Amino acid sequence: MGEINRPKVNYRLVNEADFPIIMDMYTQLNSFFYEVGYRLPRPENVGQVWLDTFRRTLGRFSNVYIAEIDQKVVGFMLCRVKRVPAYMGGVLVGELSDMWIAEEARRLGIGDKLSRLALDWLRQQGVHSVEIQVLRDNDASWKLYDRMGFKLEFRVGRLLWDEYIEEKPA
């Protein structure tokens, strides 16, 4: 889309009035996870449970950036700061934790901009590096982060009991 047709997007930090909409967006994101490789159980009331994991640390160990068009929220990015254990260097590490862009607002550069706002804040917190986790089949998300310079470091596997092979194959 040419620059000239792009709607004006406003970026800002979250406030309490946004909580219902970001909980709803996280619920949509959580449903999407199962389409791209997620195999954990589906919790009840997932938006509220998710919000409760960071709402009291906002501005200190976490932040949510909001994108809006015509005063309507069209996306968010949650980032967090954590300290890795001493045996892993004991450093502060940032995490781009969750992002959702409403379907009608995709491919406008909003995901890219929200990620960069989060990276700027994490850098100001003095983190050693920034992590992301991307589900196996989420190619769009991986492409976005790959362009920013993220390099693949971990592979995470999960064994469900009905897949467990008890004897070594002959």
Ligand X SMILES: CC(C)(COP(=O)(O)OP(=O)(O)OC[C@H]1O[C@@H](n2cnc3c(N)ncnc32)[C@H](O)[C@@H]1OP(=O)(O)O)[C@@H](O)C(=O)NCCC(=O)NCCS
56 φ, ψ to 5°? Answer: -80, -10
CB nearer to ligand X: pick between 31 and 45: 31
Distance from first CA to last CA of the chain, Å, rounded? 56
The minimum distance between CB 3 and ligand X, in angstroms, equals 12
CB nearer to ligand X: pick between 50 and 121: 50
Contact residues: ligand X, CB under 6 A: 29, 32, 98-101, 106-112, 138, 140-141, 143-144, 147
The minimum distance between CB 11 and ligand X, in angstroms, equals 12
The minimum distance between CB 125 and ligand X, in angstroms, equals 20
Q: How far is residue 145's CA from residue 135's CA, in Å, rounded to a whole number?
A: 13
Angle at Cα 52 formed by Cα 51 and Cα 56, nearest 5°?
105
Contact indicator for 28, 40 with CB cutoff of 8 Å:
no
CB nearer to ligand X: pick between 72 and 90: 72
120 burial level (CB within 10 Å; 0-12, 13-18, 19+) = exposed
The minimum distance between CB 158 and ligand X, in angstroms, equals 18
CB nearer to ligand X: pick between 127 and 144: 144
